[in-house]
Amino acid sequence: MFWIGLLAGAAIAFVANRLVQKGVFTKWYEWVLGGLGVLALFATGQHYFSSLRENEPQSAWMGALIFGIIALILLGVAWQLSVRKTKQS
């Protein structure tokens, strides 16, 4: 758990740093959407693997589906906002 947290934190910091450097996300709501998307992505993984450990395979798949779709939508919207903004400029 310690190493997962460390690696995840480092990866998030690295990606956020790159996004800032490249000026991909400039608006506050892009950061909020992206952050929530990452949070949903973590929720998907945590729920899936924990549910399998709980001997709840149905919950694992359904939860992964629900949180995964939420993550995809949020990250997709954040990404599209950025892409369209870049195209406009």
Partner 1 sequence: MSNFHSTLSRRDFMKALGLAGAGVGAVSAAAPVFHDVDELTASSGGVQKLPWWVKEREFKDPSVPIDWQNLPKLEGVFPMQAKPTLSAQERYAMGIPGGSSGTWASPEQAQVLFDHMKKEFPGWEPGYAGLGDNRTTALFMATKFMRMGMWPGEINMGGKRVNVAKAISAAGGTAAFTSFLGLRSSETLRPQDFGVPRWEGTPEENLLTLRQVVRFLGGCDVGAQEMDSDVFKLFHEKSGGKQLVIENVDEAAETPTKLVIPAKAKYILQWTARQPYESTRRQAGEYEDAAVYWSYQRFPFVGAIIQEFIHALGYTAVSTHMSGYHSSAVATLTGMGEHCRMSSPILVPKYGTTNRAMWVIMTDMPLMSTKPIDFGVYDFCKTCGICADSCPFGLIEKGDPSWEATQPGSRPGFNGWRTNTTICPHCPVCQSSCPFNTNGDGSFIHDLVRNTVSVTPVFNSFFANMEKTMGYGRKDPRDWWNIDDYTYGINTSY
Q: Which residues bind partner 1 (CB under 8 A)?
A: 1-2, 4-6, 8-10, 12-14, 16-17, 20-21, 43, 46-47, 50-51, 53-59, 62-63
The two three-digit tokens of residue 76, written as one number = 């997709």
Residue bearing tokens 């909020």: 32
CA distance 43 to 45: 5
As measured in angstroms, the least distance from the Cβ of 55 to partner 1 is 6
Tokens of 8: 């995840």
Closest separation between CB of residue 86 and partner 1, Å? 20
**CA of residue 79 relative to chain centroid, distance:** 11
Which residue number, 21 or 89, has a Cβ lying nearer to partner 1?
21
- Comparing CB distances to partner 1, the nearer of 49 and 84 is 49
